[in-house]
Amino acid sequence: MKSKTVILVLFLAILSFFANIWGISIYSLDEAKNAECAREMLERRNFIVPTFNYELRTDKPPMHYYFMIFAYKLFGVNEFAARFFSSLFGVLTVLATFFFARRFFNEKVAFFSSLVLLASLHTSIQFHMAVPDPYLIFFITASLMSFFIFYKEKSQTALWLFYLFSGFAVLTKGPVGVVLPFFIVLFFLAITHHLWLLRKMSIFKGLLLITAVSLPWYVAVGVETNWVWVKEFIFKHNIHRFSSPMEGHGGIFLITLLYVFIGLLPFSVYLLQSFKKAWVEKFKDVNLFLLIWAVIYVGFFAVSKTKLPNYTVPSYPTLAIILGSLLATVKFRKSFVYSLATYILITVLLAIGAYIGLKQEPEIKDLAYLGFSFFFLTVVGLVSLVLLKKDFKKSHFTLGFGSFLFVLAFFFLIFPLIDRRNPVQQELPLIDKTKPIISYKGFNPAFLFYIRKKIPEFNRVDKLKKFLKDKSTVYILTRKKHLKELEKIKGLKILAVKKDLFERKYSVLIIYRR
């Protein structure tokens, strides 16, 4: 029976996280920049200095670039390769969650914990993206779970895995990969009166291992960029992100809690009951550890000035186990009826909101009917509600597997229809890539992943005129707001003006012919 459950979880995880990763374009800002950066590193044969449009990129350390480069070597430069290891790390995260829950609870809790993750659309979206987050989620999860195994079983292998995974996390996203796990561990040991265990943790040797794994690249990139990369990354992308909202991603602390709640639907409607159960059973140190992990991780990003939905996803595995423990062991309660009723209401609002949101997008307003696909979740919720009192277990199987089917439908049927309308996919067929391609004051980064050569950027009309002087045909990528400035140049013809999906910017394609 055990092997059958593992095989089922593995199969569902592969199905969910690899769903159509080859059939959706690299379009979002983060995906485009990360996938292109890895492509450029491979092309330049420089595996130290990250670049985007062949200029220094200081946003992230290189771990995800290395995995993408390896995938490019295996499968070629394409959407599947860019996302392959993101999806694989999603599968590994679910398996780690399953085995940890089975080890310290039982197989039923392990299965429901896995189902919580697999039923979450946001979780699947995260592991579909060519960004560093899928790697960080796994390394944070693996490091903290390894620590707890060491704590319970005094396994030296688990201790060294804790340090090793922490080092990989630092190489994935910087100091957050070690600061938060170490703080969680320290707080847990303090609150359980086990600080003495620090003497058994070979901390000096552990820090040496973390340093050996992560520091050489930081030193190498520092030397090669005259320390510009290190300064930019530490001060702008870490300290500044924590102390000030960046790129408009701010808000009160409740926004972070809302991100987590929406992100873990459908089962997040039971978070209050599950936290209460875990708190009542905090005498079991595993429950206390999971609670501390969840509260500190979510709390840290709640007080951070920059708030994004992906920041708190490393808390999802621990929240999944807390929820799984509730779903696997608790019998029917009246409060569950209110929770499911809340979920049904949320799905109705999601369907209406999605319809209105799609209707506001000029390029896809005829696809607004896709928003009503969320009513499928409403139906699933209603069926679960009907089953709740009669068969508690069947009710939550229905809720979980119904949501899982929606995740598959989203990636195979719903989102591809929207994706085909993005401006990059609409305008690329109009470009002859053998001709010069330039930009004026910015362009959609996704163009670069498909054009695969440097796109020189001009910020002044006089310099652009000078460049065009001896050219016969040139394609110009720009934004709608700059069109008035370009009216002074003769020989320009606008080929397309397309609104970037779910953004305010418009991507413009112009051709110059002398």
Q: Summarize pLDDT for 160-192 with one digit per residue, the tens.
A: 999 999 999 999 999 999 999 999 999 999 999
The structure tokens listed for 317 are 């595995």
Contact at 8 Å (CB) between 323 and 112? yes
What is the pairing mode between strands 457-458 and 437-440? parallel
Q: Nearest 10 degrees: CA dihedral of 469, 473, 476, 480? A: 90
pLDDT, one tens digit per residue, over 27-72 is 999 999 999 999 999 999 999 999 999 999 999 999 999 999 999 9
Which residues contact residue 440 at a Cβ distance below 8 angstroms, ignoring those fewer than 6 apart? 457, 458, 459, 464, 476, 477, 478, 482, 485, 486
DSSP for 380-444? HHHHHHHHHHH-HHHHHHHHHHHHHHHHHHIIIIIHHHHHTTSHHHHHGGG--TTS-EEEES---
**Which among 415, 398, 406 is positioned nearest to 375, based on CA atoms?**
406
Rounded mean pLDDT of the chain?
A: 94
Contact at 8 Å (CB) between 337 and 385? yes
φ/ψ of residue 55, rounded to 5: -125, 150
How far, in Å, CA of 312 to CA of 413, rounded? 28
Residue 240 or residue 373, greater confidence: 373
Contact at 8 Å (CB) between 49 and 23? no
Q: Is the pLDDT of residue 245 over 80?
A: no
Contact at 8 Å (CB) between 423 and 507? yes
How far, in Å, CA of 268 to CA of 270, rounded? 5
pLDDT at 238: 65
Task: Using pLDDT thresholds of 50, 70 and 90, give the confidence band for residue 235.
Answer: confident
Quickly count: other Cβ atoms within 10 Å of residue 76's Cβ: 9
Integer CA distances (angstroms), 502 to 26, 363, 375, 422, 482, in order:
15, 10, 22, 10, 20
How far, in Å, CA of 384 to CA of 358, rounded? 28
pLDDT at 333: 83
Task: Using pLDDT thresholds of 50, 70 and 90, give the confidence band for residue 2.
Answer: low
Q: What is the CA radius of gyration of the chain?
A: 25
pLDDT, one tens digit per residue, over 469-485 is 889 999 999 999 999 99
Task: Say what the pTM is.
Answer: 0.95
